[in-house]
Protein backbone atom coordinates (compact mmCIF):
# COMPACT_ATOMS: atom_id res chain seq x y z
CA UNK A 1 0.00 0.00 0.00
CA UNK A 2 1.40 3.40 -0.97
CA UNK A 3 1.74 6.27 1.47
CA UNK A 4 0.78 9.91 0.91
CA UNK A 5 2.71 13.01 2.00
CA UNK A 6 1.89 16.68 1.43
CA UNK A 7 4.63 19.24 0.74
CA UNK A 8 2.61 22.17 -0.64
CA UNK A 9 -1.08 22.97 -1.10
CA UNK A 10 -0.98 26.40 -2.78
CA UNK A 11 -1.40 27.48 -6.38
CA UNK A 12 1.32 25.99 -8.57
CA UNK A 13 2.13 29.37 -10.15
CA UNK A 14 3.11 30.61 -6.67
CA UNK A 15 5.74 27.90 -6.29
CA UNK A 16 8.91 29.15 -4.60
CA UNK A 17 12.44 27.71 -4.42
CA UNK A 18 11.69 26.67 -0.83
CA UNK A 19 8.62 24.79 -2.08
CA UNK A 20 10.84 22.75 -4.38
CA UNK A 21 13.16 22.02 -1.47
CA UNK A 22 10.23 20.72 0.61
CA UNK A 23 9.03 18.53 -2.25
CA UNK A 24 12.53 17.11 -2.67
CA UNK A 25 12.80 16.30 1.04
CA UNK A 26 9.45 14.46 0.96
CA UNK A 27 10.64 12.47 -2.05
CA UNK A 28 13.86 11.47 -0.27
CA UNK A 29 11.82 10.35 2.76
CA UNK A 30 9.60 8.24 0.50
CA UNK A 31 12.62 6.67 -1.21
CA UNK A 32 13.87 5.41 2.16
CA UNK A 33 11.06 2.83 1.96
CA UNK A 34 12.56 1.48 -1.29
CA UNK A 35 9.49 1.82 -3.53
CA UNK A 36 9.60 0.93 -7.22
CA UNK A 37 8.56 4.51 -7.88
CA UNK A 38 7.34 7.74 -6.30
CA UNK A 39 4.45 9.72 -7.83
CA UNK A 40 4.23 13.48 -7.24
CA UNK A 41 1.03 15.34 -8.14
CA UNK A 42 1.43 19.00 -9.06
CA UNK A 43 -0.26 21.86 -10.87
CA UNK A 44 0.51 22.31 -14.56
CA UNK A 45 1.82 25.86 -14.16
CA UNK A 46 5.05 24.73 -12.52
CA UNK A 47 5.40 21.08 -13.42
CA UNK A 48 8.14 21.31 -16.04
CA UNK A 49 10.14 23.76 -13.91
CA UNK A 50 9.89 21.55 -10.83
CA UNK A 51 10.74 18.47 -12.90
CA UNK A 52 13.99 20.09 -14.06
CA UNK A 53 14.90 21.23 -10.55
CA UNK A 54 14.34 17.72 -9.19
CA UNK A 55 16.34 16.19 -12.03
CA UNK A 56 19.62 17.06 -10.36
CA UNK A 57 22.73 14.91 -10.01
CA UNK A 58 22.07 13.90 -6.40
CA UNK A 59 18.46 12.91 -7.12
CA UNK A 60 19.47 10.88 -10.18
CA UNK A 61 22.17 9.08 -8.17
CA UNK A 62 19.69 8.34 -5.37
CA UNK A 63 17.10 6.96 -7.79
CA UNK A 64 19.68 4.69 -9.41
CA UNK A 65 20.85 3.47 -6.01
CA UNK A 66 17.27 2.74 -4.96
CA UNK A 67 16.37 1.29 -8.36
CA UNK A 68 13.39 3.63 -8.36
CA UNK A 69 11.68 6.26 -10.50
CA UNK A 70 10.24 9.69 -9.79
CA UNK A 71 7.04 10.38 -11.75
CA UNK A 72 5.42 13.82 -11.83
CA UNK A 73 1.87 14.33 -13.06
CA UNK A 74 -0.88 16.96 -13.05
CA UNK A 75 -4.24 17.70 -14.68
CA UNK A 76 -5.86 20.38 -16.82
CA UNK A 77 -9.11 20.23 -14.83
CA UNK A 78 -9.67 19.60 -11.14
CA UNK A 79 -11.65 16.63 -9.87
CA UNK A 80 -14.87 18.65 -9.60
CA UNK A 81 -15.05 18.61 -13.41
CA UNK A 82 -16.75 15.43 -14.70
CA UNK A 83 -14.42 15.50 -17.73
CA UNK A 84 -11.24 15.89 -15.69
CA UNK A 85 -8.08 14.25 -16.96
CA UNK A 86 -6.83 13.88 -13.38
CA UNK A 87 -7.80 10.24 -12.92
CA UNK A 88 -6.37 9.05 -16.24
CA UNK A 89 -3.13 10.93 -15.64
CA UNK A 90 -2.85 9.58 -12.11
CA UNK A 91 -3.51 6.01 -13.23
CA UNK A 92 -0.92 6.36 -15.99
CA UNK A 93 1.62 7.82 -13.54
CA UNK A 94 1.11 4.94 -11.11
CA UNK A 95 1.52 2.42 -13.91
CA UNK A 96 4.75 4.13 -14.95
CA UNK A 97 6.01 4.15 -11.36
CA UNK A 98 5.67 0.38 -11.20
CA UNK A 99 6.75 -0.19 -14.80
CA UNK A 100 10.07 -0.97 -16.38
CA UNK A 101 11.32 2.51 -17.31
CA UNK A 102 14.94 3.18 -16.22
CA UNK A 103 15.57 5.05 -12.96
CA UNK A 104 15.13 8.78 -13.41
CA UNK A 105 12.79 11.77 -13.19
CA UNK A 106 9.82 11.83 -15.56
CA UNK A 107 6.62 13.69 -16.37
CA UNK A 108 3.62 11.43 -17.05
CA UNK A 109 0.85 13.25 -18.88
CA UNK A 110 -1.79 12.18 -21.41
CA UNK A 111 -0.20 8.76 -21.97
CA UNK A 112 3.28 10.21 -22.56
CA UNK A 113 6.17 9.39 -20.24
CA UNK A 114 8.73 12.16 -20.80
CA UNK A 115 12.20 12.44 -19.21
CA UNK A 116 12.46 15.63 -17.14
CA UNK A 117 15.35 17.05 -19.15
CA UNK A 118 13.26 16.85 -22.33
CA UNK A 119 9.80 17.93 -21.15
CA UNK A 120 8.30 21.06 -22.71
CA UNK A 121 4.85 22.54 -23.17
CA UNK A 122 3.37 21.70 -26.54
CA UNK A 123 2.98 24.76 -28.79
CA UNK A 124 -0.59 26.01 -28.66
CA UNK A 125 -3.01 24.57 -31.20
CA UNK A 126 -6.38 26.25 -31.79
CA UNK A 127 -7.89 22.81 -32.34
CA UNK A 128 -6.90 21.60 -28.86
CA UNK A 129 -6.92 24.19 -26.11
CA UNK A 130 -5.84 21.86 -23.28
CA UNK A 131 -2.34 22.11 -21.83
CA UNK A 132 -0.15 19.25 -22.98
CA UNK A 133 3.50 18.24 -22.77
CA UNK A 134 5.83 16.65 -25.29
CA UNK A 135 9.53 15.81 -25.47
CA UNK A 136 11.94 18.22 -27.12
CA UNK A 137 12.95 15.52 -29.59
CA UNK A 138 9.36 14.50 -30.42
CA UNK A 139 8.62 15.09 -34.14
CA UNK A 140 5.24 16.52 -33.13
CA UNK A 141 7.03 19.25 -31.18
CA UNK A 142 9.47 19.98 -33.99
CA UNK A 143 6.68 20.24 -36.56
CA UNK A 144 4.56 22.53 -34.36
CA UNK A 145 7.57 24.71 -33.57
CA UNK A 146 8.44 25.06 -37.24
CA UNK A 147 4.89 26.10 -38.12
CA UNK A 148 4.88 28.70 -35.33
CA UNK A 149 8.28 30.05 -36.35
CA UNK A 150 7.30 30.32 -40.00
CA UNK A 151 4.11 32.22 -39.11
CA UNK A 152 6.01 34.51 -36.74
CA UNK A 153 8.63 35.25 -39.40
CA UNK A 154 5.90 36.21 -41.89
CA UNK A 155 4.21 38.50 -39.38
CA UNK A 156 7.47 40.16 -38.34
CA UNK A 157 8.46 40.76 -41.96
CA UNK A 158 5.03 42.28 -42.64
CA UNK A 159 5.35 44.55 -39.59
CA UNK A 160 8.79 45.70 -40.68
CA UNK A 161 7.42 46.49 -44.12
CA UNK A 162 4.44 48.31 -42.57
CA UNK A 163 6.63 50.53 -40.39
CA UNK A 164 9.09 51.15 -43.24
CA UNK A 165 12.60 52.37 -42.51
CA UNK A 166 11.84 53.44 -38.95
CA UNK A 167 14.72 52.57 -36.62
CA UNK A 168 13.80 49.96 -34.03
CA UNK A 169 13.11 51.60 -30.66
CA UNK A 170 15.40 51.09 -27.72
CA UNK A 171 14.25 50.49 -24.18
CA UNK A 172 12.17 47.38 -24.92
CA UNK A 173 13.02 44.19 -23.02
CA UNK A 174 11.56 40.73 -22.56
CA UNK A 175 11.30 39.18 -19.11
CA UNK A 176 10.32 35.51 -18.72
CA UNK A 177 8.25 34.89 -15.60
CA UNK A 178 7.76 31.19 -16.33
CA UNK A 179 10.55 30.23 -13.94
CA UNK A 180 10.91 29.82 -10.20
CA UNK A 181 12.91 32.75 -8.85
CA UNK A 182 13.89 33.93 -5.39
CA UNK A 183 13.39 37.58 -6.41
CA UNK A 184 13.47 40.02 -9.32
CA UNK A 185 16.64 41.87 -8.31
CA UNK A 186 18.42 41.24 -11.62
CA UNK A 187 15.63 42.93 -13.61
CA UNK A 188 15.34 45.81 -11.14
CA UNK A 189 19.10 46.39 -11.28
CA UNK A 190 19.03 46.38 -15.08
CA UNK A 191 16.19 48.91 -15.19
CA UNK A 192 18.01 51.14 -12.70
CA UNK A 193 20.97 51.31 -15.08
CA UNK A 194 19.09 51.56 -18.41
CA UNK A 195 16.28 53.56 -19.93
CA UNK A 196 13.37 51.12 -20.27
CA UNK A 197 9.94 52.17 -21.47
CA UNK A 198 8.22 48.79 -21.90
CA UNK A 199 8.63 45.21 -20.70
CA UNK A 200 7.16 42.17 -22.42
CA UNK A 201 6.42 39.52 -19.82
CA UNK A 202 6.56 35.93 -21.06
CA UNK A 203 3.79 34.40 -18.97
CA UNK A 204 2.78 30.83 -18.23
CA UNK A 205 0.50 29.12 -20.71
CA UNK A 206 -2.59 31.35 -20.34
CA UNK A 207 -1.28 34.21 -18.28
CA UNK A 208 -0.43 33.16 -14.74
CA UNK A 209 2.63 34.02 -12.66
CA UNK A 210 3.72 34.15 -9.03
CA UNK A 211 1.72 36.84 -7.21
CA UNK A 212 1.98 35.71 -3.59
CA UNK A 213 5.33 36.32 -1.88
CA UNK A 214 6.21 40.06 -2.20
CA UNK A 215 9.81 39.26 -3.16
CA UNK A 216 8.77 36.92 -5.97
CA UNK A 217 5.43 38.45 -6.91
CA UNK A 218 5.23 39.56 -10.53
CA UNK A 219 2.17 41.69 -9.78
CA UNK A 220 4.09 43.54 -7.05
CA UNK A 221 7.00 44.00 -9.46
CA UNK A 222 4.72 45.42 -12.16
CA UNK A 223 2.96 47.80 -9.77
CA UNK A 224 6.26 49.12 -8.37
CA UNK A 225 7.95 49.71 -11.73
CA UNK A 226 4.78 51.12 -13.27
CA UNK A 227 4.48 53.69 -10.49
CA UNK A 228 8.17 54.45 -9.96
CA UNK A 229 9.41 54.32 -13.56
CA UNK A 230 6.31 54.68 -15.74
CA UNK A 231 7.17 51.41 -17.49
CA UNK A 232 4.38 49.76 -19.48
CA UNK A 233 4.05 46.00 -19.03
CA UNK A 234 2.62 43.74 -21.72
CA UNK A 235 1.91 40.02 -21.47
CA UNK A 236 2.32 37.25 -24.03
CA UNK A 237 2.57 33.52 -23.42
CA UNK A 238 5.45 31.11 -23.77
CA UNK A 239 3.70 28.54 -25.96
CA UNK A 240 1.42 30.84 -27.97
CA UNK A 241 -1.77 30.25 -26.04
CA UNK A 242 -3.89 33.44 -25.91
CA UNK A 243 -3.42 35.50 -22.77
CA UNK A 244 -6.44 35.45 -20.49
CA UNK A 245 -6.05 37.73 -17.49
CA UNK A 246 -9.51 36.90 -16.21
CA UNK A 247 -9.03 33.15 -15.92
CA UNK A 248 -7.27 32.73 -12.58
CA UNK A 249 -6.81 34.45 -9.26
CA UNK A 250 -3.18 35.20 -10.10
CA UNK A 251 -3.89 36.39 -13.64
CA UNK A 252 -6.49 38.87 -12.35
CA UNK A 253 -3.85 40.27 -9.99
CA UNK A 254 -1.48 40.75 -12.92
CA UNK A 255 -4.08 42.74 -14.82
CA UNK A 256 -4.99 44.83 -11.80
CA UNK A 257 -1.29 45.62 -11.30
CA UNK A 258 -0.96 46.90 -14.87
CA UNK A 259 -0.17 44.00 -17.22
CA UNK A 260 -1.71 44.68 -20.64
CA UNK A 261 -2.73 41.35 -22.24
CA UNK A 262 -1.72 40.90 -25.89
CA UNK A 263 -4.23 38.09 -26.32
CA UNK A 264 -3.24 35.84 -29.26
CA UNK A 265 -0.16 37.82 -30.37
CA UNK A 266 2.94 35.56 -30.33
CA UNK A 267 5.67 36.79 -28.01
CA UNK A 268 8.29 36.99 -30.78
CA UNK A 269 5.91 39.12 -32.86
CA UNK A 270 4.98 41.26 -29.86
CA UNK A 271 8.62 41.98 -29.12
CA UNK A 272 9.28 42.95 -32.73
CA UNK A 273 6.21 45.20 -32.85
CA UNK A 274 7.14 46.93 -29.60
CA UNK A 275 10.57 47.72 -31.02
CA UNK A 276 9.08 49.17 -34.21
CA UNK A 277 6.44 51.42 -32.70
CA UNK A 278 7.19 55.16 -32.50
CA UNK A 279 9.71 55.64 -29.69
CA UNK A 280 8.03 58.89 -28.61
CA UNK A 281 4.67 57.23 -27.94
CA UNK A 282 3.43 57.58 -24.37
CA UNK A 283 1.81 54.72 -22.43
CA UNK A 284 -1.71 55.36 -23.74
CA UNK A 285 -0.61 55.43 -27.37
CA UNK A 286 1.71 52.49 -26.88
CA UNK A 287 -1.15 50.38 -25.51
CA UNK A 288 -3.48 51.46 -28.32
CA UNK A 289 -0.89 50.73 -31.00
CA UNK A 290 -0.08 47.29 -29.62
CA UNK A 291 -3.76 46.30 -29.53
CA UNK A 292 -4.49 47.61 -33.02
CA UNK A 293 -4.18 44.99 -35.73
CA UNK A 294 -1.76 45.98 -38.48
CA UNK A 295 -0.87 42.81 -40.40
CA UNK A 296 -2.94 40.08 -38.73
CA UNK A 297 -0.73 39.86 -35.63
CA UNK A 298 -3.65 40.15 -33.18
CA UNK A 299 -7.32 39.22 -33.22
CA UNK A 300 -9.00 42.46 -32.14
CA UNK A 301 -12.25 40.64 -31.38
CA UNK A 302 -10.52 39.09 -28.36
CA UNK A 303 -9.77 42.49 -26.80
CA UNK A 304 -11.89 43.16 -23.70
CA UNK A 305 -12.55 46.90 -23.90
CA UNK A 306 -13.54 47.17 -20.24
CA UNK A 307 -10.17 45.77 -19.14
CA UNK A 308 -8.15 47.94 -21.52
CA UNK A 309 -10.04 51.09 -20.48
CA UNK A 310 -9.18 50.33 -16.86
CA UNK A 311 -5.53 49.75 -17.76
CA UNK A 312 -5.37 52.99 -19.75
CA UNK A 313 -6.72 54.84 -16.71
CA UNK A 314 -4.20 53.10 -14.47
CA UNK A 315 -1.24 54.25 -16.57
CA UNK A 316 -2.70 57.75 -16.94
CA UNK A 317 -2.75 58.07 -13.13
CA UNK A 318 1.03 57.52 -12.86
CATH 3.40.50.40 residue ranges of the chain are 166-316
What CATH number should be reported for the domain whose range is 166-316?
Answer: 3.40.50.40
Taking CA atoms, 234 is separated from 201, 203, 222, 271, 299, in Å, by 6, 10, 10, 10, 16
Q: What is the pLDDT of residue 207?
A: 87
**Please, where are the H alpha helices in 194-248?**
218-229
What CATH number should be reported for the domain whose range is 12-120?
Answer: 3.40.50.1170
Q: What is the pLDDT of residue 127?
A: 66
What's the CA gap between 259 and 90, in Å, rounded? 35
What's the CA gap between 241 and 136, in Å, rounded? 18
What's the CA gap between 202 and 151, in Å, rounded? 19
What's the CA gap between 251 and 163, in Å, rounded? 32
Q: What is the pLDDT of residue 167?
A: 61
What are the average pLDDT values for consecutive 10-residue runs of the chain, which has 318 residues?
66 88 94 94 90 96 97 91 93 96 97 96 78 92 92 96 74 90 93 94 89 93 95 94 92 97 97 86 93 97 97 90
Q: For the purposes of burial, counting CB atoms within 10 Å of the CB of 172, is it exposed (0-12), middle (13-18) or buried (19 or more)?
A: buried
**Who's near 306: CB < 8 A, 6+ residues apart?**
none
Q: What is the pLDDT of residue 12?
A: 85
What's the CA gap between 12 and 31, in Å, rounded? 24
CATH 3.40.50.1170 residue ranges of the chain are 12-120
What's the CA gap between 144 and 231, in Å, rounded? 34
Global pTM reads 0.91
Amino acid sequence: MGQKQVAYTGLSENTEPETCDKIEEKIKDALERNPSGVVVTLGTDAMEQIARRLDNEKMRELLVRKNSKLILTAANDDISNPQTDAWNNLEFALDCASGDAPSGVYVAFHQRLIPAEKVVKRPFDNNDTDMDYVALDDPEYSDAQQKQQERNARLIAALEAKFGEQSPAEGIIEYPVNSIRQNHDELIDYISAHSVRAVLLTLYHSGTANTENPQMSVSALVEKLRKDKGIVFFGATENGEPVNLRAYETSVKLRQAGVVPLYDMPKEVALAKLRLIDASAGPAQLITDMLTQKVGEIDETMVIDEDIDALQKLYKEN
